[in-house]
Structure 1
Amino acid sequence: METPNWQTEIPTRVTSEGFNVDLHVKVLDDRVVQRAKDRGLDALVYAPHFTRLPEIRERAERFSDDELTVFPARELFTESWQRRRHVLGVGLSEPIPDFLTLEATMAELRRQDAAVLVPHPGFLSVSLGRAEIEAYDDAIDAIEVYNPKHLPHHNRRAREWARETGQGTFTSSYAHLRGTVGEAWVSFDRSFETAADLAAALRGGEPRRIFHRNGVRHGVRRALEFAHLGYENSWEKFDRVMLQGTAPTHPDHVAYDGAFDDVKVY
């Protein structure tokens, strides 16, 4: 993989050549699509919380067109809410619920030949740490080395972990707010038509360059995203969305037909 190339200007559009992908966004609507196009992106990876894969696929297809491809993905919540570890799966062929053991989630991702990405490593209590990254070295395909929600030391540590473990790297806007879309992106040398194609490139360590914006506006976007963490990680939200077995990505949901009963933590 090429050495990451960090964007130091404040461009109004993506200026890098290649196929430019914001590898993780939580929001998707007409305004998001237009913002992505205005910023020169070619693709988004859409992975909303607590949403089943069929619904994500349908929405991704609906908002894709000749100018912008939206790839479906899942950021999986593993373990318990208090000890949750997030894993981003790209190129899934079947739905996987949240709140399985980390071991079971990794095994299912491997079974499906999905690309396994580590978003916001070592960040607060919601991420894979160095120990988990080393333990699942053979299953992981890339570590996120820049995330707008991170503080500077988080990004430095992520880059150190990537160097020391030899893992591939990526970045994303991790946009929970529309205005953050396109604040960070990865540029590949070729285009991809499907999520499976993108997953194969990530698994294979295909060359890529990593960019993010800088300056005052970027700082404001980062601050707004960080402030959004308060609700995003509240117990109130989790209790409302997930503790009932009817929630879409709860392992007890009827759609999973009990397939994960022996590896669930709730």
Structure 2
Amino acid sequence: MTLLDSHARTGAVARINPVAKLGASAAVALPLILTLDVVSAAVALGLELLLFPLAGLTWREFWVRTWPVWLAAPLTGLTIALYGETSGTVYVDWFVVRISEGSLELALATTLRVLAIALPSVVLFVTVDPTDLADGLGQVLRLPARFVLGALAGLRMVGLFLDDWRALELARRARGVADRGRLRRFLGMAFALLVLSLRRGSKLATAMEARAFGAPGERTWARESTFGGREWALIGVGLAVALVATAAAVAAGTWNFILGPSA
């Protein structure tokens, strides 16, 4: 665990059940998925930025974790601005590029919506431990234990891919076959890594079956996953952000139900 991870896991939100974090993220995202307008996305994003300090992350941690979202959102908006639906005044018309008043408005709404949906998910799940998430999915949501534990075991193996890749690279370099043909070398190492992954997955599945992970009947858990007042409060905050954003868009007359006849 890095120093960044240890700091991120010391806030009050870090001790909340991951299922509640999943529910809060879904509550914020649902109304923003159903509409494409500037007001609802801007209001939701503004409220989220006010609440993010409560997550226990420092500003450095926040930017380190969320910079891909801040980079991807404007790029998404740029695509909409250049190739989106044309309406209103046309500012640029060249080849397949057509920038208009309507496409710029859609681009701004899309950028804000991507930020408002992605940022809460990233901030909340920084503090999630995979084992705690599996406990919550199995005990709180009552998902099949076989699926949950299998996914957890696979997720725990992801970190070994980097170690295997480095070991393969060093082994090929020691044999003198890693100096030329970068593309060929990459394809060869990718195939070797695939073979190693299949072998490790087969061994893991056999070991889990030997320990009765797939046995029928009710399963016991090493740690109890609780769901109480803090969890309901976090979901309530997510619902409040969604309701305020929706109410603001309806009051401003900008609510645009994308699944409706006018979409």
TM over 0.5: no
Q: Provide TM-score, normalisation by structure 1.
A: 0.26
Q: Which structure ranks higher in relative contact order (CA pairs < 8 Å, sequence separation ≥ 6)?
A: 2
The structure carrying a bigger strand percent of its residues is 1
Larger radius of gyration: 2
Q: Provide TM-score, normalisation by structure 2.
A: 0.26
